Structure formats: structure tokens, C-alpha cells
Structure 1
Amino acid sequence: MRNISLAILLSLTLAAPAGAQAPPPTPAPAQAEPVRIVNRTGQEATALHAVRSGRPDWGSNLLNRGPLPANAAFALRVNQDAGCRFDIRMVLADGREGLLRDRDICAETRIEIATAAAPLPPVAQARPNQNARRVSSGTGFVIAPDRVLTNHHVIDGCGRILARTADGRWLAATVQGQADARLDLALLAVPGNPGPTLAFRTTPAVRRGEGVVAYGFPLSGLLSSDPKLTRGEINAFGGVANDQTRFQISAEVQPGNSGGPLLDMQGNVVGVVVAKLDSRRVQNVDNVNFAVKGETAQGFLRRLNQEFRTAESRGADKSAADVGDIAHRATVMLRCEP
């Protein structure tokens, strides 16, 4: 319902001894001022959603009492102790949407949505070629609208690249700009809204021993086609031969994980899963895995003039399940057909 707050005060008193002065009543804590979300689109809005940043869905429509007229405001109260970063979505009567991401609504008392983009035309789904041979698969994740980051080796030599989204659609993908074989990174254009974006972590600096989650599609031809989550730690700040563009991690990965996100326990990207050490070639070594550092991936995207989201990782850690929920809608399986 439309943000109606009811405060019920129950006063329990204990009779004071005769002659004793009753203590003054304790004042009720002041309520924080609501943030007002103003519709400046020129049309009435039929839906308004406000969820904490990173949530995989938009939750319920706050306008359950009717549309929000143009220039009208909706008052939203939040529990600041539970977090202040919100994603806000306003849907207009003609189907257009206005989106605001990662807004600090504890610091802003008034948020105006002035314009809304036209709804995108539907993109025809691609279909996997069931007769294709020597098909391989990997993982990618959404870093901007219709843009997916993955490893170079996942898409190298592909005649056709398909991305399967979290909602089960197959979309055609093409390499955007110049892939980097040395860093093992590639940017893909995937029209059709493959999912919400993940944010790269900016601060604080990643530490050894910090918990991380790897998310992707390992061994999809052998195991189920569902994504898999593994958790572990940052073990070292260098890869094979002291490669400073990579982390060594204990989160176990397998073929097919390549290109997937490595997330901290706030759900922000700290790396791109890239490889594991082959225990068949290196004796007495097991579960040694690597990821391209997040700062390296950011530098790669900047060279392509590709915008992306960043965020600080502050506050209490989330559970691995919550981090997985954040990653799920933004992570795609990539299919490489010759």
C-alpha cells in the first residue's frame, strides 16, 4: 500500500511508592523524513518499484491505490539500518519506463524522474544449431545494457555465439570492439536485455583471505545446465609466473566457468573467472584457480570506451545465497558454435 505509517504506542506504568515523583515519559524517537519520488515525465505512472540495489526482482508495485499523476510525488519511508542504496523503476501508462540505479535515498530527500525511455522492440530469439559439432560453452555477465563481459578464449574461433539468459531466452551475441587475448577478456554485444548489470567494486581494496563467490556454468554437457555457485577466498595477488593481472582463488571452478563473475560478499564484481591449474600436469597440487582482477577488467572496458557500474563494498557481508541471487539474473551461459 502507499506508504502509510501507523505508530501504536503502548504505555505500561508501574505505580510509584507514595511520595515518589514519577519519572518523565521517554520521548518517542523521531521518524526520519520520507524521500519523495516525483513523477516529472508528463504522464501518469501506473507502477512504481523501489528495491535495494542488487535485488534480482522489482518486488511489488507501490502504486496499489492507483496511478501517480504527472508532477505528483510518492512518499517512501525506509529502514535506514537495513541499507540506503536503492534501484527505482517507474512505468508509465504508454509502457515507457524510467530507471534509476544505486541511489542513496538516505542522502536524498527528493528524487525526480524526468524522462522515460521508449520500450525497446522485442528481439527475436536465436536458436541453437542442434546439428553443430565441436560445440563449447562458457559464462559471461552483464556489465551494461546489452553488453556482456567474458573471456577471450570462450569466444575465440566461434562462427556463432549464443547467450542463454537467466529467463531461458537464447540471444545472438557478437564481439564488440577488440578482444584482448593477453588479458583473456572479450566484450560482447547481446541485444535483447540479457539481464540487469553487475557493479565492479571500487573500494576498499581486496585483501588476501577475503571471501568470494564464483558463479557460472561448469561442465554443462556433463552436469545439469543450471548455474553453479562455489565459494572460497582470495589466496594470492598474482597468477602463474607472478602474473599481476590475476588473483589466485580457492573457489573451485571447472571448464565452463570461464568468463563468469567472481563476486565479493556484497555482490560486487572483483574478478572474472579465467582458469584452473591442471592437476594432471602439476603433481600434488589441487584446487588452484585464477580470475582476472576486477581492476584489470575495468581498464579493458575503459579502453573500449564502454561504460560500466561501480560500487563500494561496505557494511555487513551477505550470505552466499544472497550473493548468488544477485549474480543469477546477470549471468548468462555462452554457447560457441563453429
Structure 2
Amino acid sequence: MRSSTFLLLMAITPAAVMAQDVSRDAYFGEISLSAGFADDPRVIDMVAGGSVNLSQANQFDCNGFVSDAPDYQIDYSTGSADFELSFFAESTVDTVLLINAPDGQWHCNDDYSEELGLTAGVTFERPLAGIYDIWVGVYNEGDVYAETELYITELASLLTDQGSETSGSSGTAANGSPQVIGSGTAFAVTNEGHLITNYHVISECSSLRFQLPGALAIEATVVATNESFDLALLKTDSTTRAAPFRTQGRIRLGDDIVVYGFPLLGDLSSSGNLTNGLVSALTGLGDDLSTFQISAQIQPGNSGGPVFDIYGAVVGVVVSTANQDYFAQQSGNIPQNVNFAITSDITQSFLRANNIRYELSDNSEELSTADIAERAQTMTGALLCYR
């Protein structure tokens, strides 16, 4: 199999692969999806391959073995927002994707990205509405009926960029369209669409999109920033439930906290990730009074997300994790799970300075972690950075 990692995508005439019968029922089912669908990516378990040898079709450069009937079928509806539609196959063996699009054109790929473990992938930059018949094949005949997962997603750019704040993507596609260069987390602080995140999350973005779990991504604009405290205020046109800030005094050492955000978007869950822990220290690095230390695990992409207390009130904004290389060079020690958040006081002062009337919590009853998670999902989303 070729070792290159670029997408090889070729369109051929419908008559080129006579063995494939689009009129037959798909072996592993069918689904109707609309642009902006929830639970992205959709993952379908199946076995790959069949008796049809694609190398006998000389009209296109794609090899492998597929079945005669489609493995899966999608009825896709487009919307007003622009989404790419991508299909990937993940398996322990080399796979092949063959897709018949709504316009009758065939698209085949057998070499997408070995680095990501995706040996076959097809992306439609401007997907058509209609039926997509999908064959998931294997490159080697001896691998027929290997267990495989078919991924259907509108977040392909995040998957290939690894979804981190420090993504090293080139930024702009060959056609000049903006590309996702990283992601973070943001949460609503008013019902009028104001969001809080970190300055470092948005500092190099030419445009931003905010996406709550299961909702369409919407445009977000920068209203104000404070680089010193690493805060940014954004605005969207949507009405979003606001996260209330704590009013019951300052946090204490040992307080239980919950962190919700979107780390490693494209690798971890698109519906968000929740961790819990304790307030480990009341100050940050060098006794910085604007931050405090937490034991809850965070990853790239958590930055800008809320830190909740046991009452579901915001007590901080996730900002950073200890630089292990720095500590190793300075002291020879490698810190474990040393993470920091901006204090609620600093965040509220930033909002007041920008004339934002934020919500304050009046809840005095402890909430379960599951209840806090449910609330967090209604007010916290992934923040996509484009350039």
C-alpha cells in the first residue's frame, strides 16, 4: 500500500464499477442525517470487504476488495450552514472506501492517513443532499471480514488537526478557505450570547465558531480581551443559558470542584469531557493571586472552560497546566497533574469592566456531579479557531 498521507480522491463514471449495486439494501443499515447533526462523529461497527476486486476496474486508482451491495447508506440533508461531510474507516487492517454520491459519481480512497490510524477517508467539501451509498472494503484479500468502524463526521478538520490549541496545521487550504488551526472551550456568562474564554485561545484566530453539544456551530466575535489575565469576552447571536458565578465567599483549600470542557476535540468525545478534583492551592505559580491550583485533569482544549463548585456555580476559568519541561530544567522534577484556573473574582472584575451583567448563583443545595454535568452542557461549548 502506498505510504503517502494525502487524500487520493478520484471521481469516475457510474458505469465504471458494474458489480456494485446501489439498488440493494445496505448490509449494516441506513440513517438519515441533517447538516449540523448531533453526536458527531457517528460511529458504525461493521466487517469490511467482500469478493469484488476493485483492481479489475482500471478507470480509477483504488485497489481492494468490497462487497456487491452497499455496507451502509446515508440520506443526507443540507442546511443553511456550510459543513464538510467526511467518511473514515478505522481498523487494524488496511481499508478502502468506495462511495456513490447523490449525483451518481463514484469516489474511492485507499490511503488517507496511517498516522491517525485512518487508512481510508473521503471528504466532500460541499456535500450534496441525497443518498450516499458506502462500501467499506479491505486492501488485502486475506483481511476480508475484518472488524471495522465507519466514522461519519462534519468535524474532519478537527480530526486531522488533532483538536488541540497548539495545532500545527497550515491554516489555509489550497482553495483559500479558512481552516481550523486549534480549539478551546468557552462558556456563556449572559443569556444574550456573551462568552468567556482565554485570550491565548483566540489570539491568533481570524474567525471563531462556538458549538454547544448537539447544536450547530455559530459565529463568535471578540468584544474585549485582557492579555495580562488571559481572558477574552466573545459575543454570539444566540440565546444561551448563562453559567452563574459563586456568591458564597471565596473558595477554600480542599474544596471539591468539577471541570467541563472540550479537550483534544476530534479525539475525545464531541459531547464534552468532565473531570473532578480539589482546590490544591489558593494561588498559582509564584503565589500568583489571580489564579489557583486544581487537581482535576485537563488537556489541550480545556482552556477557557468553567470550573464549578459543588453547587454548580463558576469559581474559575481553566487557563493552563504546569510546563513539565520548564520544571525539569529548573529543578529536575516533573510535576504531575498541576493545573491552574483564573479566579472568579478576576473574571467577574473583567466582566464588570466591560459592562456585562453576568449571572450570580442563588443555589445553596449541593448538586451531584451528574447534575452539574447536565447543566454544564447547556452553557459550555467548543470554540473553534480558524485562520
Settle same-fold status: TM greater than 0.5. yes
Q: Corresponding residue for 2:349?
A: 299
Q: Corresponding residue for 2:308?
A: 263
Work out which of the residue numbers 314, 323, 335 in structure 1 matches 2:364.
314
Tell me, in whole angstroms, the C-alpha distance in 2 between the residues paired with 1:213 and 1:173.
26
Cα deviations by residue, 1:129-180 (Å, 9 ceiling, x for unpaired): 954446100000000021111000111021110011233211001001x300
1:331 is the counterpart of 2:377 = no
Gaps of 5+ in 1: 1-123
Amino acid at match of 2:238: G
| Aligned positions, number | 213
Deviation at 1:280, TM superposition (A): 3.6
- Structure number with higher helix proportion: 2
Cα contact 1:230–1:251 (8 A) shared by 2:
yes
3-state SS in 2 of match to 1:163: strand
Deviation at 1:312, TM superposition (A): 4.2
Cα contact 2:212–2:377 (8 A) shared by 1:
no
Q: Corresponding residue for 2:282?
A: 237
3-state SS in 1 of match to 2:210: strand
Work out which of the residue numbers 181, 189, 194 in structure 2 matches 1:143.
189
Q: Corresponding residue for 2:337?
A: 287
Q: Corresponding residue for 2:166?
A: none
Cα contact 2:308–2:315 (8 A) shared by 1:
yes
Work out which of the residue numbers 205, 213, 218 in structure 1 matches 2:250.
205
Deviation at 1:302, TM superposition (A): 0.3
Tell me, in whole angstroms, the C-alpha distance in 2 between the residues paired with 1:183 and 1:153.
10
Gaps of 5+ in 2: 1-79, 85-124, 126-156, 158-172, 328-332
306 and 172 in structure 1: CA distance in 2 versus 1, 3 angstrom threshold: same
273 and 167 in structure 1: CA distance in 2 versus 1, 3 angstrom threshold: same
**TM-score (norm. length: structure 2):** 0.52
Cα contact 1:199–1:309 (8 A) shared by 2:
yes
Cα contact 1:216–1:333 (8 A) shared by 2:
yes
Deviation at 1:205, TM superposition (A): 2.5
Deviation at 1:298, TM superposition (A): 0.2
Cα contact 2:290–2:343 (8 A) shared by 1:
yes
1:181 is the counterpart of 2:227 = yes
**TM-score (norm. length: structure 1):** 0.60
Q: Corresponding residue for 2:4?
A: none
1:169 is the counterpart of 2:216 = yes
Amino acid at match of 1:207: R
Cα contact 1:126–1:170 (8 A) shared by 2:
no
208 and 197 in structure 1: CA distance in 2 versus 1, 3 angstrom threshold: same
Percent identity among equivalent residues?
36
